[in-house]
Structure formats: C-alpha cells, structure tokens
Amino acid sequence: MPRLFPSRSIVVRVVISVFLTVSLCLATDETVVWSGKIAGNVTVPPSTHIIVSSVCEVASGTVIQNYGSITVTNGGGFAPQYGGGATLAINNMPGGVFEIAQDENVFWYLRPPMLFTNCAGATLCKTAGTGGNALENLRLDNRGTIAVTSGELTFVPPGWLREGTEFRGSGRIVFGLPGYYADFFFDREILINGPTVVNAAGAAAFVALNEIVRVRTEGAGLFEWRNGGLQGSFEFPSGSHVVVSGGGGLFDSSRVENHGVWDWVSGFVGIDGDSVLVNKGTFNVMTNTGLMRSPFYSQQPAFTNDGVINLLRAGSRFNCIAQSPGGFQTTFTPNSVINVNMESETPNQFPQLDASRALLDLGGRLSVTVAPETSLTNGTSFVLAQYALSTNEFISVDLPPLAFPLTWRIDYGARFQSRVTLKIEQQIWRLTAPQRDVFGTLSFGCTGPAAGYCIFQTSSNLTEWRPISTNSPFTGSALFQEEMTEAGRFYRAMLFP
C-alpha cells in the first residue's frame, strides 16, 4: 500500500475514498487533518497531531488507539457511514490527548456502545467554546484526567469513573441530562482539582463500586449536586466542597459521610430506605432546604450531625421531613454545633431546624448571634426546632447578651409539644418570706437570675436606706441573717448587673 501520510511537520488533508480495512499506524511527528472515511484499527503514535475539522464517516467496528493528540474543531466529529448505525471505540492511551475545541457534539448517531476509554495518564479536554457540549453517544470509561478550560462538557450515562480519575480546568463538567436514567459508576477515589466544577444533573445515579468511594476536591474545586442520586457508600473528606443546588437523592440503603463543607443553596435531597447521611464537617444552610424521606419506603432513614450546621440567613431552614410521624431519625451528637444567625425582625423568618414528623434527639452546643438591626424585646420568641418526638436537650448554649434586665429562656416543652422555643423574658427577682427563730434571728433570702452583686439594705422610715450586707457575685440566691435588736425596721434587696 502506498504511504498515505507525508513526512514530519507537514500539514495535509487526507481524503480516503473507500473504507480502510487494514490496520493503519501513522508516522510520528506529523500533523494530519482527517476527513472522509475511517475503518479498521488506527493507531496515532506519540508526537502525532490529528485535526478533525469535518465529520468523518466511521465503519462499524473501527478502533482508534491514540498515543498522540486528536483535536476536534470547527464542527468536526465522527458519524456512521450513510447515516446508519456504527460502533466506534476510542482508546486514549497513556500520554494521549483528545481535545474538543468546539461547542458542537462530537459523536453523531453512533450505535451504542460507542466506548471512549480514557486511560491513566491520558487527558480528555475541552478547550474552546463558551457553551455546553453533550457527548450523547459516548460511554465513558475513565482512569485519567478530564479537563475543561472553556464552557462545559456534558456526559450522559452510563459511564465509569475509576480510581485515578481527576478533573481539572476552570470550566464545568456535567454528568447526566434529563431523561437519561442509567448510572455512572464510581471507583475508590475521585479528585476534583480547582477551579473545576463537577455537576451531578439529570436523573442518573452515581453508584459506588467499592466499599467506600471518596470524592476529594482541592483548591477551588467543587462538586455541585444539582440532581441525580448517590447510591452506595461515599465519603467527602476534609477539604472537600459540595454545593447542593436543586436536589438529588440517597438511594437504596446508601451511606454518605461528610468531613468537608456543604453549601445548601436550594432544593431538597430525597433519602430512601434506611439510607444514612452523617455530617462530621460543616453544613452552611442558606435557604429552606434539607432532607425529605421518600413515601415509597417503609424503612427509617437517618441523619446524624456530628459537626457544624450554620443557619446563615433569614428564612434558612434545615429540614428532615417524613411523610409519617416517627419516620425519620435525626440525631445531634455531643460534638454537634448549631450556629443560628438571626438577622430578621419577623419571627417566622428566624432560622430553624424542622424535623416535623421526625424523631429529634438533641445534643451538643447551640450558638446564637443577633444582627445589630434585629429588634429583641421582652416577649420576643421564635421556634428553634420542630419535631414529632424529641429527647434530650442541648448540652450547652451560647447566647448573646441582652439589655438588663432581659434574659433568654429555652423552652423544650413537653415531650409531645412538638417544638423547641427560644424566648426573651424580663428577669424577676423575689424575696423569700422572712422568718425569725427562737433566738430572735431574722432571716430571708433573694432569688432570681444571676447578676453582678446583691445589696441588702435597711430603713426605719422607708425613705432613708443604709446597706447592711453585700453578696458578690450574685449567682442566683443569697441569704441574709441578722439578730433583731429593735422593732419597726424595714428591709429590702437591690441587685445590680
């Protein structure tokens, strides 16, 4: 067969009028423009650059082994001959680069399975275009790097993201489209290297192939959970960053454990069967969001907070919602911290935990901050939590100071009262009834909220008072005793902050 490709560093256009039915290995150090028809086994050696700037017709069974670089641009791509079905396999080998430099789809009307294998040490990238690129006829089997530096790149299921998978670039990588219900399979550990955004969308599930799959983010890397579900055991390690923005689900007895930061921006995450979500990191709750138990399962799902939940804005609410009473176990461990930021003058807009129709097991620390413009007066109250059945209380409470003599009070209510309320009340001090023993000693006390100090005073005319005893600091009670030596004397106690 005559040589089809010229020597080093020459750019040519290759038009093949008939399908090749033999194995073809290109020479090294060449830049070649592909067009026309491709068939058989084609190997692209290292240092060879292929440019696909028009649609190449592919014979069924074609296999491309790429050790060099292939760039698809200017509307180029791969399609079956005469518009019929065809199978194509592209193996992006170690050191190989497959570059998409356009917004248009690359693979047209190819009959599944059109398999794209991105090996360890290989790179699949999108480098041009401002919009999306949906690889709708591609099944991805990835162990290498996927990099998007312009626009976004969308994969449809099914696909395999195996150990060694790394996402890079400043663009967005999307997995799933509405209407595609197959799955993406995750293996061991996935790395999202910033500022890449990996977006879980559509109806596809991310399925863990191993006992546990770790999804790590570094730098400004981000996993955006917009839709779809997690199935199996997933861990988001310390330093990872997740944004919940639209919803998703935990499917079929899954377990997800967070050690990083999750920003809850919008939507609800459905939780099925006896799935478990454990937070050991930080949840930043910015709106009315949270977890919702599916009505189609009889098992009891669970949420455990062993980390920090920040209720950041007016109207922010973290929900654990069940369709039947007691159908959701919500636990706050002794390590749990709930930070509530009150910045609204409307009580029903104060942040809260909503475990309506769920079992709420409280614990840990509650910390409340108040914006300067928030008006807090005697009688102000707001609901911290709602529940179907509650046990325990917060171990410690950190509340901002109030103007004297106002004070905070947490009302946990009766066991079935269904809410925990934080109230502002005016402090009240009381004198206990005076008593005189057989030896003539007068005694009475003062009780009430803690204060700076308590001064006991006496008077013979209710006009002129003199101090006779000081109790500092006043911790909630003080006792005064004095031997009565004269009649007609009056006593009082005064407390100071």
Q: Which residues contact 492 (CB under 8 A, 6 or more apart)?
A: 431, 456, 457, 458, 459, 465
Asked if pLDDT for residue 21 goes beyond 50, the answer is: no
Residue 243 and residue 136 share a domain: yes
The pLDDT tens digits of the residues spanning 427-447 come to 777 778 888 888 888 888 888
Residue with tokens 């009315």: 288
Q: Are both 156 and 173 inside the same structural domain?
A: yes
Residue 7: exposure state from Cβ atoms within 10 A (0-12, 13-18, ≥19) = exposed
Instruction: Identify whether residues 456 and 340 lie together within a single domain.
Output: no
In this prediction, residues 208-219 reach a mean pLDDT of 85
* pLDDT surpassing 50 at residue 213: yes
CB environment 121-138: b (16+ within 10 A), e (fewer): ebbbbbbbbeebbbbbbb
Could you read off the pLDDT of 284-303 as tens digits, one per residue?
A: 998 888 888 766 656 778 89
Can you tell me the distance from the alpha carbon of 330 to that of 342, in angstroms, rounded to the nearest whole number?
23
Q: How many other CB atoms are there within 10 angstroms of residue 45's CB atom?
A: 15
Three-state DSSP state, 100: strand
Q: What is the pLDDT of residue 236?
A: 94
Indicate whether 27 pLDDT > 60: no
Last-in-domain residue among 75, 92, 127: 127
State pLDDT tens for residues 333-342. 999 999 988 7
Domain count, the chain: 3
Q: What radius of gyration, in Å, describes the C-alpha atoms of the chain?
A: 35
Report whether pLDDT(2) > 70.
no
> Is the model more confident about 13 or about 30?
30
Alpha-carbon gap, residue 332 to 393, rounded angstroms:
10
Last residue of a domain, one of 108, 127, 146: 127
Place of tokens 């804005």: 313
pLDDT at 141: 93
Helix (H, G, I), strand (E, B) or coil at 93: coil
Bridge pairing between strands 453-459 and 466-471: antiparallel
Same domain (yes/no): 106, 173: no
Q: In terms of C-beta density within 10 A (0-12 exposed, 13-18 middle, 19 or more buried), how is residue 17 classed?
A: exposed
Task: Say yes or no to pLDDT of 207 above 90.
Answer: no
The two structure tokens encoding residue 63: 């296999």
Residue 375 and residue 480 share a domain: no
**Per-residue pLDDT, 290:** 85
Last residue of a domain, one of 402, 425, 448: 425
Q: Which residue has the tokens 């009262």?
A: 417
91 plus 226 within the same structural domain? no
Bridge partners for 58 per DSSP = 38, 80
Q: What pLDDT score does 76 carry?
A: 92
What pLDDT sits at residue 6? 34
Q: Are 114 and 52 in contact (CB under 8 A)?
A: no
Mean predicted confidence (pLDDT) in 190-219 = 80
pLDDT value at 328 more than 90: no
Residue 323: the pLDDT is 64
- Residue 87 and residue 136 in one domain: no
Q: How far is CA 106 from CA 116, 134, 194, 277, 308, in A?
A: 12, 8, 26, 39, 45
Asked if omega into 158 is within 30° of 0 (cis), the reply is yes
d(CA 90, CA 64): 5
Place of tokens 């799935």: 275
Does residue 164 sit in the same domain as residue 290?
yes
Distance (Å, whole) CA 391 – CA 12:
76
Q: Which of 21-25, 79-83, 463-467 has the lowest mean pLDDT?
A: 21-25
At residue 227 the predicted structure's pLDDT band, cuts being 50, 70 and 90, is confident
- Whether residue 175 sits in one domain with residue 113: no
The band of 15, judged by pLDDT with boundaries at 50, 70 and 90, is very low
| Residue pair 290/268 in contact by the 8 Å Cβ criterion | yes
Torsion-angle region of 443 (φ positive above 0: left; ψ -120 to 50: alpha; else: beta): beta
CATH number at residue 471: 2.60.40
* pLDDT tens readout for residues 100-149: 999 888 888 776 668 999 999 999 999 998 887 778 778 899 999 999 99
Is residue 346 pLDDT above 80, yes or no?
A: no
pLDDT of residue 406: 82
pLDDT band of 170, cuts 50, 70, 90:
confident
Whether 255 and 149 share a structural domain: yes
Q: Residue 240's pLDDT is what?
A: 92
pLDDT at 179: 67
State whether 100 and 141 are in the same domain: no
Structure tokens of 344? 């609204």
- Average pLDDT taken over every residue of the chain: 82
More confident residue, 346 or 35: 35
| Among 191, 194, 238, 199, residue whose Cα is nearest residue 215 | 191
* Half-sphere CA count of 409, side-chain side, radius 13 A: 15
Choose between 249 and 52: higher pLDDT: 52
Name which residue leads in pLDDT, 276 or 372: 276
- Is residue 8 very low, low, confident or very high in pLDDT (cuts 50, 70, 90)? very low
Q: Which domain holds residue 260?
A: 128-425
11 pLDDT higher than 70: no
For residues 122 and 150, state if they share a domain: no
pLDDT higher at 183 or 323: 183
pLDDT at 39 over 50: yes
pLDDT of residue 442: 86
Of the candidate ranges 113-122, 251-260, 310-319, the one whose mean pLDDT is the lowest: 310-319
Provide φ and ψ at 230, rounded to 5°: -110, 130
Sign of CA dihedral 479, 480, 482, 484: negative
